[in-house]
Amino acid sequence: MIIAVIREMDVMNKLLTTSSTLSPYQHLNLKREAKVKVNVLGVFSSLAMLVSTSVTAVPAIAAETSHTSQQQPNILLILTDDLGYNDVGFNGSTDITTPNLDELAANGTSFSQAYVAHPFCGPSRAALMTGRYPHKIGSQFNLPTKGSFVGVPTNEQFISKLLQNNGYNTGAIGKWHLGEAPEFHPNARGFDDFYGFTGGGHNYFPEQFKAQYANQVKLGNTNINHYILPLEHNGKEVDENEYITDALSREASRFVEDAATDDKPFFLYLAYNAPHVPLEAKQSDMDMFPNITDEKRKTYAGMVYAVDRGIGRVVDSLEKTNQLDNTLIVFLSDNGGKLSKGASNYPLKEGKGSVYEGGFRSPMLFHWPKQVAAGQRFEHPVLALDLYPTFAALAGITIPSQKRLDGKDIWPAFSAGEDPHKDELFYVLRHRKGYSDASVRRNQWKAVKQGDKPWQLFNVEVDLNETNDLSKKHKTMLIDMVREMEKWSWDNKQPLWFHEAYEGADWRLKGMPRFDQTFSTSK
């Protein structure tokens, strides 16, 4: 086995030193693989009794041990807003640099096929917190734009509440977008500490939004744009004076450092609103990208860089307080990047709002020293819906029997490098005016229904851009997948709210959801 590893390293070194045809990303991947081989050799040297064990099983042994360990890990869940699949270095970006995220990926495992449950912000976040498809709980639309007393149903226990009830110190920093009324507030949904804003977004420069807010108050307005409201800390307004991304990073570092003085493990949900619009970046961050000439792209790049810079600050706090080794860091986006606002989802098709890959496939990584394999790329599909049961299992928590979940604990399969969803189906459904876009995937096959077009079928493992429709060649398989999704849809709930009032009127006038049309395969 050692000889085989040495031979693989020799091939890698020759490629690294002699090949001029490697792309920067391929070169980086080869370097990462070589680093892992060195680590593996070290393990074999010190543990000669394991010579007969396969190389790929080494990280799995460590991870399996942690899965049953009595020590509960800290969990840091970092969520960005509208980040493009191709807008981080570890996913191949050539113009936007993300050194801190790339370092986490190099020392951890990144995912090529990570999927969120919906291509829009609010429903995706509802799924993340509840472990349910948003359609199953009536949360399939963004919350109303002008404020409301509705929110994700309180009978759905959030992962934060489960962890809090089982000894975790819990914090939420940043964007909420899951309900503004007291019963839906983060402090009521399992978070001990909340710093941020409850609406769907926020402006970034305090000197601008504070002046706008003061003017609205002076005019006597009470229904004020959420994007300019004061931030809050546990329900009390705060006078924030930093660029918002930097402020959220500061507060996350504060939480991490405070947590080091507590004997409890922590769960921190760090939900940046960047790079969601409005496109507002610090000049110093935009200056990091002199080669980007498109104004939107340059501003967007500056916003992404600020997030990366902030993540570096939080990781520094973990290191400084000796908590990094016992912290699982998970990074992802809530949906695909918005192409009209500077994002890139290359090589995926379309972007935010779409049921094609660019709408809901997200950049994602796991980092946990000695528990997550370093420098690896996990090539099987994983779902944001899986995080709820996976976190619970890692914390040694039994999920209440009455709590329904749509994902699964992926840690054993992840640790073994196996497909956690082999032969299983997963779904994305986005309602529009009078019709629904839908997609269903099983293994390499993905069926897509967009607008009034007939169902299409793609092999997304070889056709990332979803251009080669194979529906006629595999008609029976296509119909079977569509029928399975139709069956899945029967217990979907009617929406509890709509983003805009006209959407609710259209829903009723058009007799939605009209699944008889969505799942028709007669064309």
Residue numbers annotated as active site: 121, 177
| Beta strands in 36-106, from DSSP E residues, in sequence order | 74-80
In 3D space, the residue among 350, 380, 363 whose CA is nearest the CA of residue 466 turns out to be: 350
Q: d(Cα 454, Cα 437) in Å, to the nearest integer? A: 11
Radius of gyration of the chain from its Cα atoms, rounded to whole angstroms: 23
Tokens of 423: 């032969």
Three-state secondary-structure class, residue 395 = coil
Residue 255: what residue type?
A: F
In 3D space, the residue among 64, 297, 311, 13 whose CA is nearest the CA of residue 174 turns out to be: 311
Quote the Cα angle for 404-130-70, to 5°: 85
Q: d(Cα 49, Cα 45) in Å, to the nearest integer? A: 9
Tokens of 267: 């769960």
**Partners of 80 in beta bridges:** 333
Q: d(Cα 154, Cα 185) in Å, to the nearest integer? A: 10
Tokens of 33: 């693989």
| Beta strands in 2-89, from DSSP E residues, in sequence order | 74-80
Buried b (16+ CB within 10 A) or exposed e, 297-314: bbbbbbbbbbbbbbbbeb
Q: Which residues contact 144 (CB under 8 A, 6 or more apart)?
A: 150, 497, 498, 499, 500, 501
Q: d(Cα 219, Cα 212) in Å, to the nearest integer? A: 11
Quote the Cα angle for 275-382-83, to 5°: 10
Tokens of 251: 């507060």
Distances (CA, A) of 350 to 182, 330, 355: 37, 25, 9
Three-state secondary-structure class, residue 16 = helix
Q: d(Cα 249, Cα 517) in Å, to the nearest integer? A: 46
Three-state secondary-structure class, residue 110 = strand
